[in-house]
């Protein structure tokens, strides 16, 4: 039986679904999940999905289970903690944050992106997420969401809907991590699916950092769908440092005049894992701007991939598109695939894009060796330098340190962080 059929079967056995869950299941039944034949899914590891034996979330988690060690709090941030997709309401910081946030109560309908597009793994999250959360942010807010998954053959799902009121400012950090020691080389035994819908109303601003550190026991699919009204700005820093096969599908719709998205992304893949990301940006209004900077490193036999699909509609006059995709191959069996794609349906546009993949520059390496640096330090330094432009945007300092540590764990050499800018 296929994974989709088993997912639907397990969902049906769960009892009374929410209307959104039911709609998601309906869409999944109709459109199924992507396959490698889908152009944007060629580099995702979908075979591992078929090998999973269970999909449902853990039906009987202990509500009083002590939380594993959490990263140090980020100064000025409220914090929400999930464990296996369940909100840890007994956790004081989580309770405090939830009390301060407004539950919008919205059960957002399944969008076309989720139902039939590249966001289809979001359907699985909506079907199984034990505690969907829908928030509305007004004024200024800083929120960290930590999502931990424990070992075991259960699925981990979160379903988040966040709306920013007009002129609201939100600094959002999402940190996905395993809760236990990482078993090197372990086969994935659990599906992790997270879906996040963002709605930025007029003039609102979102700075969003996603640090992805899925454990090797996970098979990770993440979906982000953002819609921006006029003058809204969305800054996304996506850092993929999972010990697992991971796929992220991000779609940003620039629906309002002069709305803008700026994405800096790093993917570091090691071992035999794949880190695959799709960024789809739809320019649907005049004067919209999108920038994407991607830096991917594949070590050993790993695979890093980035597809960047920008579609500029006829109505998006005076828009601007910038894309810079670069890949670094750091292993004999490693592979990097970059796919920039621009579809432009208006004459009045500024667009620039570049995509390059290669190995460490031997001239730069020799320069550092000729200054007495050890080969491993020199290689490490050049890899960090390669990532520096994207990493440089990550803040505050405590988060930057956490992100650097996460990325370092996915590179074959220890970082020489003190040598970086």
Nearest to 279 by CA among 245, 302, 317, 253: 253
Nearest approach, Cβ of residue 332 and other proteins (Å)? 18
Among 51, 68, 140, 366, binds other proteins (CB under 8 A): 366
**Segment contacting other proteins (CB under 8 A): 53-61, 66-74, 254-262, 375-383?**
375-383
Q: What's the half-sphere exposure (Cβ side, CA atoms, 13 Å) at 329?
A: 14
Q: Which distant-in-sequence residues (6+ apart) come within 8 Å of 249 by Cβ?
A: 40, 118, 119, 121, 122, 221, 222, 223, 224, 277, 278, 280
CA-CA distance, 126 to 223, in Å (whole number)?
11
**Segment contacting other proteins (CB under 8 A): 14-22, 43-51, 169-177, 413-421?**
413-421
- Asked if 191 interacts with other proteins (CB under 8 A), we say no
- Asked if 360 interacts with other proteins (CB under 8 A), we say no
8 A C-beta contact, residue 49 and residue 144: no
Among 348, 352, 367, 414, binds other proteins (CB under 8 A): 367
Identify which of residues 141 and 386 has a Cβ nearer to other proteins in the complex: 386
Site map (CB under 8 A) of other proteins, residues 311-350, x = contact: ----------------------------------------
Q: Which distant-in-sequence residues (6+ apart) come within 8 Å of 125 by Cβ?
A: 157, 158, 159, 193, 194, 195, 223
DSSP-derived secondary structure letter, 57: B
- Asked if 47 interacts with other proteins (CB under 8 A), we say no
- Asked if 359 interacts with other proteins (CB under 8 A), we say no
Site for other proteins in 277-306 (CB under 8 A): none
- Asked if 16 interacts with other proteins (CB under 8 A), we say no
**Could you give the maximum distance between any two Cα atoms of the chain, in Å?**
68
CA-CA distance, 419 to 372, in Å (whole number)?
14
8 A C-beta contact, residue 244 and residue 222: no
8 A C-beta contact, residue 411 and residue 386: no
Nearest approach, Cβ of residue 402 and other proteins (Å)? 19
Nearest approach, Cβ of residue 326 and other proteins (Å)? 12
Identify which of residues 187 and 366 has a Cβ nearer to other proteins in the complex: 366
Please give the residue ranges that form the binding site for other proteins (CB under 8 A). 361-364, 366-375, 377-378, 381-382, 384-389, 416, 418-421
């Amino acid at each position: 039986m296929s994974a989709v059929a088993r997912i639907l079967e397990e969902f049906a056995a769960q009892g009374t679904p929410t209307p959104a869950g039911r709609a998601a299941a309906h869409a999944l039944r109709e459109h199924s999940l992507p396959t490698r034949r889908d152009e944007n899914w060629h580099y995702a590891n979908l075979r591992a999905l078929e090998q999973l034996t269970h999909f449902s979330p853990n039906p009987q988690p202990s509500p009083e289970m002590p939380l594993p060690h959490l990263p140090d709090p980020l100064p000025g941030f409220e914090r929400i903690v999930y464990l296996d997709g369940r909100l840890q309401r007994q956790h004081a910081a989580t309770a405090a944050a939830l009390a301060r946030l407004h539950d919008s109560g919205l059960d957002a309908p399944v969008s076309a992106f989720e139902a039939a597009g590249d966001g289809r793994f979001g359907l699985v999250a909506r079907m199984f997420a034990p505690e969907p959360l829908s928030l509305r942010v007004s004024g200024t807010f800083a929120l960290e969401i930590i999502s931990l998954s424990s070992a075991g053959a259960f699925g981990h799902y979160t379903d988040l809907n966040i709306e920013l009121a007009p002129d609201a400012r939100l600094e959002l950090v999402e940190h996905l991590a395993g809760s236990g020691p990482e078993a090197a080389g372990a086969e994935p035994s659990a599906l992790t699916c997270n879906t996040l819908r963002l709605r930025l109303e007029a003039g609102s601003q979102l700075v969003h950092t996603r640090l992805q550190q899925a454990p090797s026991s996970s098979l990770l699919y993440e979906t982000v769908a953002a819609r921006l009204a006029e003058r809204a700005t969305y800054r996304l820093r996506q850092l993929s440092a999972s010990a697992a096969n991971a796929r992220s599908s991000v779609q940003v719709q620039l629906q309002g005049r002069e709305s803008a998205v700026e994405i800096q992304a790093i993917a570091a893949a090691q071992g035999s894992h794949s880190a695959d990301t799709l960024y789809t940006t739809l320019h649907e209004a005049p004067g919209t701007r999108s920038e994407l900077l991607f830096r991917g490193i594949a070590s050993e036999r790993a695979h890093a991939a980035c597809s960047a699909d920008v579609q500029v509609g006829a109505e998006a006059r005076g828009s601007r598109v910038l894309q810079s995709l670069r890949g670094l191959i750091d292993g004999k069996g490693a592979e990097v695939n970059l796919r920039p794609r621009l579809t432009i349906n208006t004459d009045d546009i500024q667009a620039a894009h570049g995509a390059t993949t290669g190995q460490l520059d031997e001239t730069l390496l020799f320069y550092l060796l000729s200054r007495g640096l050890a080969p491993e330090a020199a290689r490490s330094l050049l890899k960090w330098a390669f990532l520096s432009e994207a990493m440089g945007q990550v803040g505050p300092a405590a988060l930057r340190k956490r992100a650097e540590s996460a990325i370092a764990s996915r590179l074959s050499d220890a970082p020489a962080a003190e040598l970086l800018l």
